[in-house]
Amino acid sequence: MWQDILNIHPDCIEDFINFDKLPGQAGALIACAGMSYLKTEYQIGNKGRGVDSFDDMSKDGHVHYLISTHAGEGRIKFGNDQLLVQPGSIILLPAGTPFLYELSGDYWDMCWLLLHDCSEYNLINQRQPSVYSSNNAERLYQSMSLIREFNQSESLYQTDIILRLVEVLLYQIAQTLNMGQQLTTQQQKFQSLIRRIKKQLQLPWTVKQLADQMHMSEPHFFRLCKKETGMTPIKLLTNSRLEYACYLLRYTQCNLEQIADTIGYSDSASFAHRFKKQYALSPGRWRKEQTNNTQLNKVESDEE
């Protein structure tokens, strides 16, 4: 089994992207990510116990590795396999896989994503560690490049642009993993329903309505939802509404009445009560803390 190794030469250039600080909710799916231009020496090995150096970024210390090569060449070892990683290649390492990957040629230009071992990516646990060619390798790299570019710039529509780019990236990740092809017809229909719910949070959804959309009984739908998401239908609805509320609080000037109406609550008092129960802070207090954190990060960035 590989030892924990971290050898990174000063010639290597790495840009980290923290999705927790970007618009949207990708931080719930992506523990950490970055773009790397590697030269001279680069070597990372992990025993498969988790990601010790990223534990504070990951929910449980276990993440899936997804690496896309743009140019240059690397090499990866897992099990009894040792494979070259060339441009247009994807590396997929399910959580808990012991591995060692390193620079092979003169340089290696790639992007990497550490995906939370969560319900959305639970099918990865059924996959074997692999290296394969994919047209999505370059698409992932370009999307990451654009997210990095707009995150480092300031423009009038920066927040909206980054939000859309993150949505595209998440779609490309799903496509890269061929997750849609592994889903049953029922699972695909369920995922389609969830996407529709999240686009229409203002509607007064009920469990009966959701079950009817799937043409099944409420108990059957309850079991399906619990299996696919780890949450009850009501919990899924509540989480989706409050996650979008967090986005509106952080990135817009909408007042509480407007936010409550947008996410399907009858009034701001009901929304505020549910929000405080979930996050232990009132919406106003949460918004203020996010604003203060943003200003502090900007000051620290300017000082650097």
d(C-alpha 289, C-alpha 277), whole Å: 17
What tens digit of pLDDT does each residue of 69-89 get? 999 999 999 888 889 999 999
Q: 275-281 long-range CB contacts below 8 Å, 24 or more apart?
A: 275/242, 275/245, 278/238, 278/242, 279/242
Q: Which CATH number covers residue 136? A: 2.60.120.280
* pLDDT (average), residues 97-114: 93
Given 143, 164, 182, the domain boundary residue is 182
Does residue 304 fall inside a structural domain? no
Same domain assignment for residues 117 and 264: no
For tokens 């990708």, name the residue: 26
Task: Band the pLDDT of 9: cuts 50, 70, 90.
Answer: very high
Res. 299: pLDDT tops 60: no
Distance CA 93, CA 130 (A): 7
Q: What is the pLDDT of residue 48?
A: 66
Q: Are residue 42 and residue 59 in the same domain, yes or no?
A: yes
Q: Domain range holding 52?
A: 5-182
Residue-averaged pLDDT of the chain: 86
Model confidence pTM above 0.95: no
Q: Are residues 149 and 50 in the same domain?
A: yes
Whether residues 216 and 273 fall in one domain = yes
